[in-house]
Amino acid sequence: MSVEVRVPTLGESVTEATVATWFKKPGEAVAVDEMLCELETDKVTVEVPSPAAGTLAEIVAAEGETVGVDALLATLSEGEGAAPAPAPKAAAAEAPAAEGGESVDVMVPTLGESVTEATVSTWFKAVGDSVAQDEMLCELETDKVSVEVPAPASGTLTEILAAEGSTVDASAKLAVIGGAGEVAAAPAAAPAAAHVASSGKDVEHAPSAKKMMAETGVSADQVQGSGRDGRIMKEDVLKAVSAAAAPAPAATAPAPRAPVPADDAAREERVKMTRLRQTIAKRLKDSQNTAAMLTTYNEVDMTEVMALRSQYKDEFEKKHGVRLGFMSFFTKACCHALKEVPEVNAEIDGTDIVYKNFVHMGVAAGTPTGLVVPVIRDADSMSFADIEKAIAEKGRRARDGKLSMAEMQGGTFTLSNGGVYGSLMSSPILNPPQSGILGMHKIQDRPMAINGEVVIRPMMYLALSYDHRIVDGKGAVTFLVRVKEALEDPRRLLMDL
């Protein structure tokens, strides 16, 4: 029997990839979930595991070829020499359910480079539920991203081995899918998952919506679903939360577990920190403990940037298909200043200083689950349009929880725009091992003395936090002055002055 190996989902807006490396050759035996090949997109590297045990019969897409989503990469065949694996896994591509009462293991998927464990955050199915192939079974949380686990085959969920809240390693078994009608006794983990599947409706809500409902304390019956057959989407939950008269968690969350017989105890709520929030807390504290962090301030007159943006924004959007914002100006200005003050773009490695002759710009983004910093690689060589497109895409993927580990690693400098929330002044915290982060703030009209006259100008406070171990005060002030000069006279960016 032949099993097809196809290109997996590559991520939002990614439509093709290049076959980088084949780890197996035709005729070699492969085990289920063993890595067959590696694909490269313009954003991330994707490993393709074997969907079944057997023998690699044919490689259809050779190394170096460009393939689209769901394209055929190779075929597997069952036979002598095949690596031992559950038979239904190999038949999953053709059969509607796991056959013959045999079972298919649901394993932890590839979590990314250097990630060795994850926490089971949500089960979307309960023991005894029927599942279709590729239907979402559960969601895992790592230090950086959320990973959805699809069903490897159709059948019945007969066993859940990892309950919600448990930590699993990269090779752990999560559950078992059996053939039609086969339902094993639920282990202790099952009750924890049972409430997730019982939403009162016969449709499966979006995983991102379920995650947000769990975090905000909103129940499914409080949300009006806009998806097919009433399916609740993430946007529906956001509308329900914003429409609530009082904070949703306080209205729906259960009383705290601590048995304290005090009036305040009944009004408290105890929620376990997510792995992402724990990582944010640890990294920020480590940054304060490790770096000799200092902040210097300045202010910039945004008149010229705002005038330039107002003059060209319509033509810019018409030609490039993306809005012209302020972030591209700040990114360009920082890249320009980093060339003059390279220590702000460097990092300390032991007793060495590593200077980066490129700029991978981190752009801090707030999401419903916490702060993340996607990285725009080689921002110093990108145009205004390319920067705006990259920022828009990264921001959207961050809000949707679709960022990969690779997209949040390798930054050399960071921009943090607290102005979008109304912040007038702040001291941003370094994102280690980086040595600099620029805090942007609210643009506010203020009276300024210009050529002996008091005039009203749109002003913004800038804050540069830097590691004093590597960046001296002179370098930090010079960097901030160069950013100020470039923004107050944007033509300097075009002239490389």
pLDDT digits (tens, 9 = 90+) for 180-221: 444 444 444 434 333 433 444 455 566 566 667 776 777 787
Higher pLDDT, 414 or 497: 414
Residue 222 sits in the same domain as residue 341: no
Q: What is the mean pLDDT of residues 368-376?
A: 80
* Residues 233, 112 share a domain: no
Report the C-alpha dihedral over residues 362, 363, 366, 368, rounded to 10 degrees: -70
Residue 90 maps to a domain: no
pLDDT (0 to 100) of residue 234? 63
341: domain CATH number?
A: 3.30.559.10
The DSSP annotation for 142-206 comes to -SS-EEEEE-SSSEEEEEE-S-TT-EEETT-EEEEEE-TT--PPP-TTHHHHHHHH--SSSSPPP
Q: What phi-psi label fits residue 323: left (phi over 0), alpha (psi between -120 and 50 degrees) or beta?
A: beta
User: For residue 238, is it within any domain?
Assistant: yes
- Does pLDDT of 40 surpass 50? yes
CA 197 to each of CA 123, 138, 159, 204, 210: distance values in angstroms, whole numbers, following the listed order: 8, 11, 15, 8, 10
Reported as half-sphere exposure (CB side, CA atoms, 13 A), residue 432 has a value of: 18
Q: How confident is the model at residue 362 (pLDDT cuts 50, 70, 90)?
A: very high
**Whether residue 128 has pLDDT greater than 70:** yes
* pLDDT tens digit sequence for 230-278: 667 666 777 777 676 444 344 444 444 455 556 777 778 877 777 667 7
Q: What is the largest CA-CA distance in the chain?
A: 90
Give the number of domains in the chain.
4
CATH code of the domain containing 123: 2.40.50.100
End residue of a domain, out of 51, 85, 119: 85
Structure confidence at residue 414 (pLDDT): 93
pLDDT at 377: 92
The pTM of the full predicted model, rounded to 2 decimals, is 0.50
Catalytic machinery residues: 468, 472
What average pLDDT does the segment 159-174 reach?
86
Q: Strand 2-6's sheet: what is its strand order?
A: 2-6, 72-77, 54-59, 29-30
| Residue 409 exposed, middle or buried by CB count within 10 Å (0-12, 13-18, 19+) | middle
Range of the domain at 7: 1-85
Contacts of 262 by beta carbon, 8 Å cutoff, 6+ apart: none
| pLDDT over 70 (residue 143) | no
Instruction: Say whether both 7 and 70 belong to one domain.
Output: yes
Instruction: Check whether 494 has a pLDDT greater than 80.
Output: no
222 and 104, same structural domain?
Answer: no
- Indicate whether 111 and 211 sit together in one domain: no
* 359 shares a domain with 461: yes
Give the per-residue pLDDT at 462: 95
- Is residue 386 a part of any domain in this protein? yes
Residue 78 resides in a domain: yes
Give dist(CA 476, CA 321) in Å, integer: 36
Secondary structure letter of residue 256 according to DSSP: P
The CA–CA distances, whole Å, from 464 to 298, 344, 387, 419 equal 9, 10, 21, 15
Among 62, 85, 108, which residue terminates a domain?
85
Instruction: Say whether pLDDT at 84 is over 50.
Output: no
